[in-house]
């Protein structure tokens, strides 16, 4: 565990804050915008001509009160990860395992490249995994054998769902509706299942049948909300239903296999218990499986909607967008503690003894060592972080500039730049974003704000050399997701 904590400290020192973290930091810290508004415009716009700092955007998600600086953001992210590690290592009271703390699962959580990335980038997946863990924390004390225990577990799961949805920015009525629905369905299940010995009772205590049914119902519910509801993220469902379905199924496989089983080195535990899982029955296991299935289905639907929406806004193919936003699979870490709860419940089968499981865990960890070291020692950098720091040194108060960039993540990068140039809004700097095709018409129509131009990597635009001088150029840093690139960003200015 000490090694894991050291790697997290290195990752936080060597990585730039992530795109989403910069957006939230700006929403929290800009004093010129009311509430959690985004002062330089909405994060997602269909056309860059609609972006203007005169029309602030709105950030709907929850932002903790300590979200005040890059340091506090990263410490918050790591605190969430550390909390998950401690809960993962807690040994249930009903377990025959000696001791009250098992360092192995805790170490796997801390050594995971997924959570090293989360800490370094200041993302909140650790905190969200803690919130989701509230739904299964009661299973540290009992196995849900009694009716009153199961009713309390249902209440905790419903509350965790409420908090997760609220954190992600869903409306109050939507969150309360999900909470009430979870309570009603859970309580009805407990009442019907309790004490039944017939086929219905056996079916209600079958974890995998109930889990599959719950996941399908969630997926269908999201389709209904997308077609008939007014939840902004899911409106894309009725516009591109087939693309959304493909994206959701891909997200489910990507998140569960790459991010959970491989990323947290849990696949040896799953393999060792595979034959035992098929015969697993009981009300307690069924509750945990259904809870995890509902979360995974909901998270996959959310990722699928984001991928489909961004593909539409960026005018990119769905596979390209999936590659760009592949790290959205980290959202599935919300089901990490429920998954560890399931793995603790049963021991490896006779065909897969504990010693073999330990060797496979060692192999899984060794295979990820290069990735762990890269994230910790090199980290992840953003070109816009460098650009923002450079522009902050050459600009004065009340200035404005134009960023020319392709649609992909353009507004995210603009807010990274704002973090350096004018985080609180006190310098009163305005920024505009336009695509290369729209840049020159915008410059022609805005003579009061045409003195400084930032051309992003990949933007095929060069201003009139008779009017502008190239004053700075810099290469794009090597990144884990993008690799090495021969592209760079440039800054042009009118001669004074």
Helices (H) and strands (E) in the chain, counts: 20, 7
Task: State the Cα–Cα distance between residues 92 and 298, nearest whole angstrom.
Answer: 28
Interval 97-112 mean pLDDT: 91
15 and 121 Cβ atoms separated by less than 8 Å: yes
What is residue 346's predicted lDDT score, i.e. its pLDDT? Answer: 84
454 and 474 Cβ atoms separated by less than 8 Å: no
Least reliable range by pLDDT among 129-143, 271-285, 422-436: 271-285
109 and 81 Cβ atoms separated by less than 8 Å: yes
For the chain, what is the mean pLDDT? Answer: 91
What is residue 481's predicted lDDT score, i.e. its pLDDT? Answer: 60
Do 413 and 371 sit in the same domain of this protein? no
Do 60 and 130 sit in the same domain of this protein? yes
Do 169 and 311 sit in the same domain of this protein? yes
Question: Among 378, 399, 418, where does a domain finish?
Answer: 378
Do 326 and 420 sit in the same domain of this protein? no
* CATH number of the domain enclosing 402: 3.40.190
Quick check: 231 pLDDT over 80?
A: no
The residue segments making up the domain with residue 468 are 383-493
DSSP 63-97: --TT--SHHHHHHHHHHHHHHHHHHHHBPPTT--S
What is residue 198's predicted lDDT score, i.e. its pLDDT? Answer: 82
Interval 389-417 mean pLDDT: 94
Question: Among 378, 411, 427, where does a domain finish?
Answer: 378
Question: Among 353, 378, 403, where does a domain finish?
Answer: 378
pLDDT tens for 292-336 read 999 999 999 999 999 999 999 898 999 999 999 999 999 999 999
DSSP 212-228: HHHHHHHHHHHHHHHHH
Do 218 and 89 sit in the same domain of this protein? yes
Predicted TM-score (pTM) of this structure: 0.91
| Residue spans of alpha helices (H) in 172-282 | 172-193, 199-204, 207-228, 236-239, 241-253, 267-278
Look-up: residue for tokens 């974890």? 207
**Helices 147-167 and 283-314: angle between axes, nearest 10 degrees:** 10
Task: State the Cα–Cα distance between residues 222 and 245, nearest whole angstrom.
Answer: 11
Do 108 and 209 sit in the same domain of this protein? yes
Helix or strand holding residue 442 (H, E)? helix 436-445
Coil/strand/helix, residue 464? coil
Interval 413-417 mean pLDDT: 96
Neighbours of 249 (CB within 10 A): 13
Do 364 and 401 sit in the same domain of this protein? no
Quick check: 355 pLDDT over 80?
A: no
Do 405 and 356 sit in the same domain of this protein? no
Task: State the Cα–Cα distance between residues 174 and 162, nearest whole angstrom.
Answer: 9
Task: State the Cα–Cα distance between residues 103 and 110, nearest whole angstrom.
Answer: 10
Interval 438-454 mean pLDDT: 91
Quick check: 89 pLDDT over 70?
A: yes
What is residue 171's predicted lDDT score, i.e. its pLDDT? Answer: 85
Do 432 and 302 sit in the same domain of this protein? no
Proportion of the chain in helix, strand, coil states, percent, rounded to 5:
65, 5, 30
What is residue 465's predicted lDDT score, i.e. its pLDDT? Answer: 83
Quick check: 199 pLDDT over 90?
A: no
What is residue 2's predicted lDDT score, i.e. its pLDDT? Answer: 87
Quick check: 197 pLDDT over 80?
A: no
The percent of residues above 70 in pLDDT, for the chain, comes to 97
Query: Greatest CA span in the chain, whole angstroms?
Result: 86
Quick check: 482 pLDDT over 90?
A: no
Quick check: 391 pLDDT over 70?
A: yes
Quick check: 484 pLDDT over 60?
A: no
Radius of gyration of the chain (CA): 25
Quick check: 483 pLDDT over 60?
A: no
What is residue 496's predicted lDDT score, i.e. its pLDDT? Answer: 72
Interval 114-134 mean pLDDT: 96
Task: State the Cα–Cα distance between residues 218 and 97, nearest whole angstrom.
Answer: 36
Higher pLDDT, 34 or 102: 102
Higher pLDDT, 447 or 489: 489
pLDDT band at 394 (very low <50, low <70, confident <90, very high): very high
Interval 26-48 mean pLDDT: 84
> 146: which residues sit within 8 A by CB, 6+ positions away?
none
What is residue 216's predicted lDDT score, i.e. its pLDDT? Answer: 96
Do 366 and 435 sit in the same domain of this protein? no
Quick check: 276 pLDDT over 70?
A: yes
Total structural domains within the chain: 2
CB neighbour class for 168 (10 Å; exposed up to 12, middle 13-18, buried from 19):
middle
pLDDT tens for 212-221 read 999 999 999 9
Do 148 and 75 sit in the same domain of this protein? yes
Look-up: residue for tokens 């803690």? 130
> 168: which residues sit within 8 A by CB, 6+ positions away?
61, 62, 302
Q: Beta 400-404 vs 430-434: how paired, if at all?
A: parallel
Do 148 and 30 sit in the same domain of this protein? yes
Quick check: 182 pLDDT over 70?
A: yes
């Amino acid at each position: 565990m000490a090694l894991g904590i050291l790697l997290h400290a290195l990752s936080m020192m060597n990585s730039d804050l992530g795109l989403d973290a910069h957006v939230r930091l700006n929403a929290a810290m800009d004093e010129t915008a009311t509430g959690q508004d985004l002062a330089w415009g909405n994060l997602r716009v269909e056309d860059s001509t609609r972006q203007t700092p005169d029309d602030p955007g709105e950030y709907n998600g929850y932002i903790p009160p300590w979200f005040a600086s890059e340091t506090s953001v990263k410490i918050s992210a790591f605190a969430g990860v550390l909390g998950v590690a401690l809960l993962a290592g807690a040994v249930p009271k009903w377990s025959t395992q000696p001791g009250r703390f098992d360092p192995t699962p805790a170490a796997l959580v801390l050594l995971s490249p997924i959570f090293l990335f989360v800490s370094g980038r200041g993302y909140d997946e650790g905190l969200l995994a803690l919130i989701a863990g509230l739904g299964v924390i009661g299973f540290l004390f009992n196995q849900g054998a009694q009716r009153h225990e199961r009713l309390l577990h249902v209440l905790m799961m419903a509350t965790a769902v409420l908090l997760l949805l609220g954190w992600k920015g869903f409306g109050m009525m939507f969150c309360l509706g999900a909470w009430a629905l979870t309570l009603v369905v859970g309580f009805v299940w407990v009442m019907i299942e309790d004490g039944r010995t017939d086929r219905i009772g056996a079916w209600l205590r079958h974890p995998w049948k109930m889990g599959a049914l719950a996941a399908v119902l969630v997926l269908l519910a999201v389709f209904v909300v997308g077609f008939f509801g007014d939840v902004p993220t899911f409106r894309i469902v009725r516009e591109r239903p087939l693309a959304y379905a493909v994206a959701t199924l891909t997200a489910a496989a990507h998140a569960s296999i790459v991010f959970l089983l491989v990323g947290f080195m849990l696949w040896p535990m799953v393999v060792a218990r595979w034959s035992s899982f098929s015969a697993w029955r009981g009300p307690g296991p069924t509750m945990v499986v259904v809870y995890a299935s509902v979360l995974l289905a909901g998270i996959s639907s959310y990722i699928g909607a984001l991928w489909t929406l961004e593909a539409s806004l960026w005018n990119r193919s769905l596979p390209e967008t999936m590659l760009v936003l592949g790290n959205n699979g980290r959202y599935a870490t919300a089901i990490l503690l429920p998954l560890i709860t399931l793995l603790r419940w049963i021991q490896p089968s006779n065909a897969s003894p504990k010693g073999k499981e330990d060797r496979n865990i060692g192999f899984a960890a060794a295979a990820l060592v290069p990735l762990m070291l890269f994230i910790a020692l090199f980290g992840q950098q953003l070109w816009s972080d460098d650009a923002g720091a450079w522009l902050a040194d050459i600009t004065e108060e009340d200035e404005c500039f134009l960023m020319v960039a392709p649609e992909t993540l353009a507004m995210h990068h603009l807010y990274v730049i704002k973090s350096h140039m004018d985080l609180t809004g006190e310098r009163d700097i305005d920024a505009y974003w336009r695509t290369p095709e729209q840049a020159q018409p915008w410059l022609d129509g805005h003579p009061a704000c045409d003195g400084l131009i930032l051309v992003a990597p990949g933007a095929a635009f060069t201003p009139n050399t008779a009017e502008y001088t190239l004053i700075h150029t810099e290469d794009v840093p090597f990144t884990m997701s993008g690799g090495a690139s021969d592209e760079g960003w440039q800054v042009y200015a009118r001669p004074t």
